[in-house]
Structure 1
Amino acid sequence: MSGREFFTARTVTEALAGFRPAHRTPVEDVPLAAALHRVPAEPVTAPDPLPGFARSTVDGYAVRAADTYGASDGLPSYVDLLGAVRMGEEPTVAVRPGGCVAMPTGGVLPAGADAVVMVEYTAETMPGTIEITRPVAPGGGVVRADEDVAAGAELVPAGRPLRAPDLGLLAAAGVTNVAVHTRPRVAIISTGDEVVPPQVRSPAPGQVRDATAAALAGLVADAGGEPVLAGIVGDEPGALKARLTEVLPGSDLVVVSAGSSVGTRDETAGAVAAVGEIWCHGLAIKPGKPTLLADCGGIPLIGLPGNPLSALVVFGQVGTPLLWRLSGCQRPPPSPSARARLSRDLASAAGRLDVVQVTVRDGVAEPLFGPSALLSVLTRADGYVLVPEPATGLDAGSEVEVVLYR
């Protein structure tokens, strides 16, 4: 690309692989109640084995497995009932050859026993005598003391957002606080003399309410960030540079909405160049070509197109992965998806990533088209289909993966 149109243009694949600022958010300790979806800064290991004692997984009878060998409906085994284990208490009775102890699910396995036979395969034929009609192998119906987690083993890894089962496992191990990365602070700056706050009741002709900032704040929060609405900056020379200078020190990521194209009044590139280094200006993506990526003293900056649909599409493809990386996440959680068949042909250009909004009905993905200034295209969509960079399009009837909006 030459002239003023774009410079250092990159594909989205190149951007995701190459634009990797080293900045990471600081670390803080949080209680488990506040740790869901947070990213651990280091692996958390088990101080003790889990569950910590051999326990029954079924209601039944603790036995020596050898005493059940050969048992069947026609030729049962018979053992003496020696006592019972109470939940939450240490057994007061041991299993001897030819004996058994009644067990609740989760009860501590008594000494001498190496298995638990399910109550469904037993009967008390007379007081104190238990009939067994199915054999059980050693270890059957039992969880070992360290079968869930061995002492010193990793409970949760670093760099993966914590899920609800992770919190349960940590609680079981007695871990009540976790060292996690702080939520990235994302300053969102809107630009343009025509942009006014959403609360303006009657915008003047030519003015538009700032819809993009609110939507971007939602995307930031959805990716675990802390959005900070940094206001609207007009087109006067020097204004954006001044605002960037204000917000950069307290931010982990700065997003500038609009002003990244090549019009004579667009100030983003010049202002960013004054406070940082532009990595690329222009992405091979549709919609969203006029996108700017920069490193401002270690703090990444994204300059988004002015059209709302384009801005949100680009942030989803580039900004969200970057945001997870800033929070120390090595394995971002996958988005929900579904397989569907395309209802019509989709044309594309090789070397460009096309993001096509679709509705999904009865396994058929129907593309939605409209100007990139229309947010309603996104609100009507169930998700989107990616036409990969090497492809020149997709044929009607092709099976595609639809990334679904939550």
Structure 2
Amino acid sequence: MTREFFTAKTVGEALAGFRPARRTAVEDVRLADALHRVPAADVRAPTAMPGFARSTVDGYAVRAADTYGASEGLPSYLDLAGAVRMGAAPTVTVSHGKCVAIPTGAVLPDGADAVVMVEHTAETMPGTIEVTRPVAPGSGLVRADEDAAAGDVLVGAGRPLRAPQLGFLAAAGVTTVEVHARPRVAIVSTGDEVVPPETPTLAPGQVRDATASALAGLVRDAGGEPVMAGIVPDDRGALESTLRSALADADLVVVSAGSSVGARDETAGAVAALGEIWCHGLAVKPGKPTLLAECGGVPLVGLPGNPLSALVVFRLVGVPLVWRLAGAAEPPPEPTVRARLSRDLASATGRLDVVQVAVRDGVAEPLFGPSALLSVLARADGYLVVPEPATGLDGGTDVEVILYR
């Protein structure tokens, strides 16, 4: 029906072409609250890190040249000049023929250029250390600027912060980070048959709004802040009014449209009155009746009414959009696993097929069911993608499964 899918695009075209310029505002957050937030600017090291040369092993600080040629049969003998205490500056130096006992993490004393592991030494007599293995300059230690030199980029703008990066920033003394605010994502449900989840008893033909709750979870996973805008009947005027209010206070508006062709037409008409439709129809199964638009600088995603289709499409094109609004150059990669396909999968060329799978003992078992059923998604461990050019996949094929977190 050409009236409904008048500007259909592939998923790849949508990801590459529908790239609204909108970004959320910038705010300062404490390091403890910065996990998965997106820095708005590069964060640089205020000083060299770790700031002093230190030992990476328990052993003895030495001049490497004093250990050359050492072996178990012909060890080198060094005089023990003292010891370094943790958390304190050394009070001794290392000179020719001398060594200093040092624990892991302690400051390297002056004169030393290597640390020999305690396993490669023995104290043959009080004050004399036997070294049975040579070390090269730099062995067993890190330089004062080995983690980062002053002014180096510790974390780059546009990449969501991971736990190790928070530790790296803490080590540098960075306690606040300038990040993009969480995108506000307004979720609008439509349909005369849709009622709130808390409805105790359903009348004939009614369905509880399951899609909005699931979409809110996906938004939170992508670092966004879901805003429930309620349920709107299949009425053009009511929908247009609700969308106008949502657009005024959101960074992204998501509409879960009714399942009928008429309901989808009402959504398209209301959106067209408020902005410009970029495409109406994606070459993907499930999820073909998807709408992408921009209304006054605010992107809008119109999803199919069937819950499975809506969630599949939002994961493919909506989640990357939320990350983009939050300042991310690219969404963080999803976890994947290789598995053997349990059976043949048929597909039509020219469209992307998204197949839900359960993974057991290295085997991916496709899960099928009507797109109105959420049970398929609830039972799935992840999904695989049959690309547009393919006519299917043979059973036994090694496939990549994108896992649900």
TM-score (norm: length of structure 2):
0.98
1:50 corresponds to 2:78: no
| Between 263-272 and 232-241, the greater mean CA deviation after superposition | 263-272
Q: How does 1:339-350 map to 2 (within 5 A)?
A: 339-350=338-349
Report the counterpart of residue 326 of structure 1 in structure 2.
325
Report the counterpart of residue 384 of structure 2 in structure 1.
385
Residues of 2 paired with 1:101 and 1:207: CA distance? Answer: 80
What per-residue deviation string (whole Å, max 9, x for no partner) do you get for residues 325-351 of structure 1? Answer: 111101321111111111111111111
Report the counterpart of residue 23 of structure 1 in structure 2.
22
Report the counterpart of residue 194 of structure 2 in structure 1.
195
| Between 17-26 and 261-270, the greater mean CA deviation after superposition | 261-270
1:279 match: secondary structure:
strand
What per-residue deviation string (whole Å, max 9, x for no partner) do you get for residues 28-84 of structure 1? Answer: 000100000000011111011111000001111111111111111111111111111
How many residue pairs get aligned? The number is: 405
Residues of 1 paired with 2:141 and 2:302: CA distance? Answer: 58
Is the 1:195–1:209 contact (alpha carbons within 8 Å) kept by the matching residues of 2?
yes
TM-score (norm: length of structure 1):
0.98
Q: How does 1:7-406 map to 2 (within 5 A)?
A: 7-259=6-258, 262-263=261-262, 266-406=265-405
Residues of 2 paired with 1:92 and 1:237: CA distance? Answer: 81
Deviation of 1:364 (Å): 1.3
Residues of 2 paired with 1:79 and 1:60: CA distance? Answer: 13
What per-residue deviation string (whole Å, max 9, x for no partner) do you get for residues 291-343 of structure 1? Answer: 10000011000000000000000000010111111111013211111111111
Residues of 2 paired with 1:58 and 1:28: CA distance? Answer: 41
Deviation of 1:395 (Å): 1.2
| Poorly superposed stretches of 4+, deviation over 4 Å | none
Residues of 2 paired with 1:136 and 1:183: CA distance? Answer: 51
Distance 1:261-1:48 versus aligned 2 partners, 3 A rule: farther
Residues of 2 paired with 1:129 and 1:330: CA distance? Answer: 58
Is the 1:260–1:291 contact (alpha carbons within 8 Å) kept by the matching residues of 2?
no
Deviation of 1:259 (Å): 3.5
Residues of 1 paired with 2:83 and 2:264: CA distance? Answer: 83
Which amino acid letter does the alignment assign opposite residue 209 of structure 1?
R
Is the 1:261–1:291 contact (alpha carbons within 8 Å) kept by the matching residues of 2?
no
Residues of 1 paired with 2:14 and 2:172: CA distance? Answer: 41
Is the 2:259–2:306 contact (alpha carbons within 8 Å) kept by the matching residues of 1?
no
2:283 match: secondary structure:
strand
1:263 match: secondary structure:
helix
Residues of 2 paired with 1:276 and 1:7: CA distance? Answer: 16
1:267 match: secondary structure:
helix
Deviation of 1:263 (Å): 2.2
| Between 264-273 and 41-50, the greater mean CA deviation after superposition | 264-273
Distance 1:181-1:358 versus aligned 2 partners, 3 A rule: same
Distance 1:213-1:223 versus aligned 2 partners, 3 A rule: same
Residues of 2 paired with 1:83 and 1:58: CA distance? Answer: 17
Is the 1:25–1:252 contact (alpha carbons within 8 Å) kept by the matching residues of 2?
yes
2:46 match: secondary structure:
coil
Is the 1:12–1:318 contact (alpha carbons within 8 Å) kept by the matching residues of 2?
yes
What per-residue deviation string (whole Å, max 9, x for no partner) do you get for residues 11-43 of structure 1? Answer: 111111111110011110001000000000111
Residues of 2 paired with 1:5 and 1:120: CA distance? Answer: 75
2:261 match: secondary structure:
coil
Residues of 2 paired with 1:398 and 1:14: CA distance? Answer: 27
Deviation of 1:264 (Å): 6.2
Is the 2:76–2:130 contact (alpha carbons within 8 Å) kept by the matching residues of 1?
yes
Which amino acid letter does the alignment assign opposite residue 336 of structure 1?
P
Which amino acid letter does the alignment assign opposite residue 120 of structure 1?
E
Residues of 1 paired with 2:151 and 2:345: CA distance? Answer: 53
Deviation of 1:261 (Å): 5.9
Segments of 5+ residues of structure 1 without an aligned counterpart are none
CA RMSD of aligned residues (A): 1.1
Which amino acid letter does the alignment assign opposite residue 368 of structure 2?
F
Residues of 2 paired with 1:214 and 1:237: CA distance? Answer: 24
2:166 match: secondary structure:
helix
What per-residue deviation string (whole Å, max 9, x for no partner) do you get for residues 232-287 of structure 1? Answer: 01123300000011111110100000138632674110110111100011111100
Is the 2:70–2:76 contact (alpha carbons within 8 Å) kept by the matching residues of 1?
yes
What per-residue deviation string (whole Å, max 9, x for no partner) do you get for residues 114-138 of structure 1? Answer: 1111111111111111111111111
